[in-house]
Amino acid sequence: MRSDGQRSPLVVPELLDYTLSFVDSEKDLQTCALVHRSWLHPSQSRIFSTITFYPSSSGSNAAQLGRQLDILESSPHLVAFATELTIFYFGTLESLAGYLTRLASLPFTNLTTLRIDGDDHLLSTPQTHAIQHLLETPSLTSLTFHCHFARWTDEFLNMWEVCCPTIKHLRLGLASSEPLCELARDGTHGRIKLETLSTEGPSDAAWLQHAKCPFDVRGLKAIRLGFVPLGDSLPAECLDSIELFGLNITFISGVITDICRFRSVTQLHLEHLWDGPHRFHDDFTQLCHEAPPEVRNRISAIRFEEFLVPQEGLHLLDAELSNIHEYFPNLKTVQLKLHSERKTDGAELRASVEPYAPGLDPRISVKHEFNLATPWYKRIM
């Protein structure tokens, strides 16, 4: 409304920006015919902040990918808005290398997060070479690989020779520890200074100590390893958060040793892959009774992740958590991620869990999570 009381004319860019905010599919917006026009600038930074690249063998998907790349190549200023890039690929796709080569040639000047997710499928040599160009992006700080490479000794190892040393957060979704051992033997020592590290397969931290390991972990603040405690091989003096998954009950003593040795650790995440609340009871009891008081006093956050919780097991969880403050007097946050033993939606499971929360000490914040969409290094730090 103008000062003279007359209605102001509609401003086209503002009206479009308001209208586009209701569209759910960023993919559709990124490939629409008018998205690169200058008068749509107010919406472009939002539309292109996250780019998801999902090639498949279907004809409609190929046409959409081609259109998406055409727009980005013809309007490079749109690429500068991108801060996150995710590439999904499943199965064999002959044209994938061509798509990736075009994608890697785009001027990603502000890209901070890159995710490559191919599950158990192999990346061919041409595809790997295209991805290597993306790793050279100087603004890159977070990298996730969940895939396999055709030749570990050449392609996987060469990536760390060319990638930008600004990477701080690394997640390797590898099914075995063999590539990590090769990485340690043949890498370039300490050129990448990590703050957070996650590996999916069974592995200890010994490979991080190898003379040629390309990662410098002395400033590591958060680590996630599977099936074994950290042991004595990690020189991380700044470590604040330890996340261990798939642990056997016999390893809990090793976990206690870990949090005793790393004097800066204040956050602990134990993720179990089986056994539900009875396993929780055993682990929690041992942790409470065997960890020295000076260690328990500095723990401010504990996260327990149960993949299977029977309905009757919720009472056990309540019984354990009700007196947790007696053992951890400075605890501020307890996080539980619960899965029901039967198919149910999040609302139903939440309704089953929350009645047991009132028994907790009011000084403790309890969070029930049913979705881990948040990047792992943000939720454990």
User: How far apart, in whole angstroms, are the C-alpha atoms of residue 101 and residue 148?
Assistant: 19
* Residue 213 CA: distances (Å) to CA of 153, 164, 167, 174, 188: 14, 16, 15, 17, 6
Q: Which residue has the higher pLDDT, 300 or 207?
A: 300
Q: How many domains does the chain have?
A: 1
* pLDDT tens digits, 318-363: 666 667 778 888 887 777 666 544 444 444 444 444 444 444 444 4
Which residues, at least 6 apart from 255, have a Cβ–Cβ distance to it below 8 Å?
A: 229, 242, 244, 247, 268, 270, 287
Check if the beta carbon of residue 20 is closer than 8 Å to that of residue 29. yes
Which pLDDT value is given to residue 10?
46
Q: Which residue has the higher pLDDT, 123 or 277?
A: 123
Answer yes or no: is 145 within a domain: no
Mean model confidence pLDDT for the chain: 68
Check if the beta carbon of residue 170 is closer than 8 Å to that of residue 146. no
- In this model, does residue 22 exceed pLDDT 70? no
- In this model, does residue 114 exceed pLDDT 90? yes
Answer yes or no: is 199 within a domain: no
Check if the beta carbon of residue 372 is closer than 8 Å to that of residue 224. no
Token pair recorded at residue 303: 């996260």
Q: Which residue has the higher pLDDT, 173 or 375?
A: 173
Nearest residue to 116 via CA among 153, 154, 156, 77: 156
Answer yes or no: is 23 within a domain: no
Q: What is the DSSP letter of 243?
A: E
* pLDDT tens digits, 143-200: 988 877 766 656 777 788 788 889 999 888 765 455 666 665 555 566 788 888 887 6
User: How far apart, in whole angstroms, are the C-alpha atoms of residue 186 and residue 212?
Assistant: 6
Q: How many alpha carbons fall within 13 Å on the CB side of residue 67?
A: 16
Which pLDDT value is given to residue 31?
55
Show the domain range for 333.
241-370
Nearest residue to 336 via CA among 323, 348, 319, 354: 354
Answer yes or no: is 276 within a domain: yes
Provide Rg for the chain, Cα atoms: 24
- CATH number, domain of 319, equals 3.20.20
Which pLDDT value is given to residue 373?
35
Which pLDDT value is given to residue 198?
83
User: How far apart, in whole angstroms, are the C-alpha atoms of residue 353 and residue 176?
Assistant: 35
Confidence of residue 139 (pLDDT cuts 50, 70, 90): very high
Answer yes or no: is 113 within a domain: no
By CB atoms closer than 10 A (0-12, 13-18, 19+), residue 315 is exposed
Answer yes or no: is 352 within a domain: yes
* Residue 171 CA: distances (Å) to CA of 85, 146, 167, 174, 200: 15, 8, 11, 9, 8
Q: What is the DSSP letter of 309?
A: B
Intra-chain end-to-end CA distance of the chain, in Å: 47
Element (H, E) at 303: strand 301-306
Q: What is the mean pLDDT of residues 203-227?
A: 74
Nearest residue to 134 via CA among 170, 109, 157, 169: 109
Confidence of residue 112 (pLDDT cuts 50, 70, 90): very high
Check if the beta carbon of residue 72 is closer than 8 Å to that of residue 106. yes
Nearest residue to 143 via CA among 104, 117, 121, 122: 117
By CB atoms closer than 10 A (0-12, 13-18, 19+), residue 4 is exposed
Answer yes or no: is 226 within a domain: no
Nearest residue to 151 via CA among 182, 189, 187, 194: 182
Which pLDDT value is given to residue 2?
45
Element (H, E) at 102: helix 96-104
Answer yes or no: is 126 within a domain: no
Which pLDDT value is given to residue 106?
92
